[in-house]
Amino acid sequence: MLRFLYTLVMYLATPVIVVRLVVHGVRYRSYLRRWRERFGRFPDPGLRDSIWVHAVSVGEVNAAVPLIHSLRRRYGPRPMVVTTVTPTGSERVRSLFGDEVFHVYLPYDLPTAVSRFLDRIRPALAVVIETEIWPNLFHQCGRRGIPLAVVNARLSERSLRGYQLIRALVRQALANVALVAAQSRADATRYRKLGAVPSRVHVSGNLKYDMPLPSGARRRGTELRGRWGDTRPVWIAASTHEGEELAAFKAHLTVLARMPDALLLVAPRHPERFRIVEQSARSLGFIVATHGAGDVGSAVQCLVIDAMGVMMRYFAASDLAFVGGSLVPIGGHNVLEPAALSKPVVVGPHTFNFEEITRTLITAGGARRIASAEQLGGTVRDLLRDPDELARMGSAARAVCARERGAARRTMVLLGRIFARARFESSAAG
């Protein structure tokens, strides 16, 4: 009855869903052209016994990379399917894997759409990255005997409270999950509280620690610094949201007062805000350049990174990184990308999406937390004026990344067990 009521609400909401799809498609025309995929309608690719990985957007795709490589090595003859929800996630899959994997958008959680989708990809193993709980999708995987795993699983206290109103429905959905491979003990505990079968919940660590550095990232960063000036102070405000760019601009004024040649790099989280952020920087009187416009002259004070997939070279070119989504209650973004490049990290008070990682970095001395936007300028200025502290923090951050690696290997062991058990039970039933 709970799932019936949920499904009824989903069908009643379909007109709103379609409007949202069209609005999103105005920004991403390729997404609009593929709208039928969101309802499970796409040409049958002729797959059978595929290995299916779902990663909602860019961050989850990046986290899934080492696991996808491991799955392809172990189950190579089987076709690999990777689904996303966002067009930026789709673009990331294409850039990383090309035609080596079959990519399609995940359908909305409507029974008919889910059924068409599963009929076409015919998975022998389903792997969902992080926190995506879809009652109808999970139910059909269970009914079809498809071993389903939620890996790199995370669940904040805030999300746990948010699920309380539909906890019984979520518990039913999680009953179909053969494995929850959690990022931390705290995440594992929350999944058990949410209703996951306790014996199926394990701690495997965070896949983001295993993310490989893009080829040539350090070299490109060094080349950028060579063009800008090796001794020039450079800091980056990465994955920023509305309200955080203004905080970064105010902070940069504080930095410029003591270091007039300092350069701020700003990378808005969402592409539709690139132009807005550029205009804001110009309106405040900064001399501005953009990634798309080419080289940065010595007079430029602010570079707006108006492109996707180039962040790592700019992290490599920076002296320190402020990671956004943390001054506003978004929950923070991936602090491991700059940390892996030995860059000190600064975050705001809101890091519940990456709480375990952030706390580990802070404890190790590789990151600092500020309580408010007003503290950003002074913190960045003081760090940029202390090369020894920058070096110490960068080394500490890199050491954490090296120490915590291994989640992909541990996750593969757990996936191998549920896959083998499913094959055995299928053979026994046959």
DSSP line for 76-93: TTS-EEEEESSHHHHHHH
Residues 188 and 226 in one domain: no
pLDDT tens figures, 28-48: 788 888 999 999 999 999 999
Residues 111 and 241 in one domain: no
Residues 247 and 268 in one domain: yes
Lowest mean pLDDT among 216-225, 269-278, 293-302, 357-366: 293-302
Within 10 A of 230 (CB to CB), how many other CB atoms are there?
8
Residues 188 and 59 in one domain: yes
Full residue range of the structural domain in which residue 169 is found: 34-205+406-424
Q: What would the two tokens of residue 402 be?
A: 């090296």
Please give the pLDDT value at position 111.
96
Residues 245 and 394 in one domain: yes
Please give the pLDDT value at position 297.
84
176 vs 137: CA distance, rounded Å: 10
pLDDT band (50, 70, 90) for residue 26: confident
Assigned domain for 21 exists? no
Q: What would the two tokens of residue 127 be?
A: 């792997």
Please give the pLDDT value at position 24.
77
Q: What is the pTM of this model?
A: 0.82
Assigned domain for 26 exists? no
Question: Which amino acid is it at 94?
Answer: R
211 vs 61: CA distance, rounded Å: 10
Please give the pLDDT value at position 428.
64
CB contact at 8 A, 114 and 43: no
Burial class of residue 90 in the structure, from the number of CB atoms within 10 Å of its CB (0-12 exposed, 13-18 middle, 19+ buried): buried
Residues 170 and 190 in one domain: yes
Is a pLDDT exceeding 80 seen at residue 25?
A: no
pLDDT tens figures, 377-389: 999 999 999 999 9
pLDDT tens figures, 406-420: 999 999 999 999 999
Q: Which of 37, 60, 278, 337 is catalytic?
A: 60
386 vs 167: CA distance, rounded Å: 50
pLDDT tens figures, 285-340: 999 999 988 778 889 999 999 998 899 999 999 999 999 999 999 999 999 999 99
Residue with tokens 């593929």: 34
H-type helices in 284-354, by residue range?
311-316, 336-340
Which CATH number characterizes residue 235's domain? 3.40.50.2000
389 vs 109: CA distance, rounded Å: 50
pLDDT band (50, 70, 90) for residue 426: low
pLDDT tens figures, 258-293: 999 999 999 999 888 999 999 999 999 999 999 988
Please give the pLDDT value at position 424.
65
Please give the pLDDT value at position 423.
78
More confident site: 110 or 425: 110
Assigned domain for 11 exists? no
Residue among 109, 124, 181 nearest 149 (CA): 181
Residues 165 and 39 in one domain: yes
382 vs 373: CA distance, rounded Å: 15
Q: What would the two tokens of residue 420 be?
A: 């083998």
The rounded percent of the chain whose pLDDT value lies above 90 is 82
Assigned domain for 140 exists? yes
Assigned domain for 95 exists? yes
Assigned domain for 20 exists? no
Q: How many domains does the chain have?
A: 2
Give the sign of the dihedral formed by CA 90, CA 24, CA 37, CA 153: positive
Residue among 246, 254, 251, 293 nearest 273 (CA): 246
Which CATH number characterizes residue 171's domain? 3.40.50.11720
Residues 273 and 381 in one domain: yes
Residue among 404, 352, 74 nearest 211 (CA): 404
Assigned domain for 12 exists? no
Residues 82 and 121 in one domain: yes
Residues 183 and 239 in one domain: no
Residues 243 and 337 in one domain: yes
Please give the pLDDT value at position 295.
73
Residues 264 and 172 in one domain: no
Residue with tokens 């020039």: 232
Per the annotation, the verdict on 60 as an active-site residue is: yes
pLDDT tens figures, 134-183: 999 999 999 999 999 999 999 988 889 989 889 999 999 999 999 999 99
pLDDT band (50, 70, 90) for residue 69: very high
Using DSSP bridges, classify how beta strands 80-84 and 302-304 pair: parallel, antiparallel or unpaired: unpaired
More confident site: 229 or 55: 55
Question: Which amino acid is it at 302?
Answer: C
Assigned domain for 211 exists? no
**Mean per-residue pLDDT over the chain, rounded:** 93
Is a pLDDT exceeding 80 seen at residue 427?
A: no
CB contact at 8 A, 87 and 31: yes
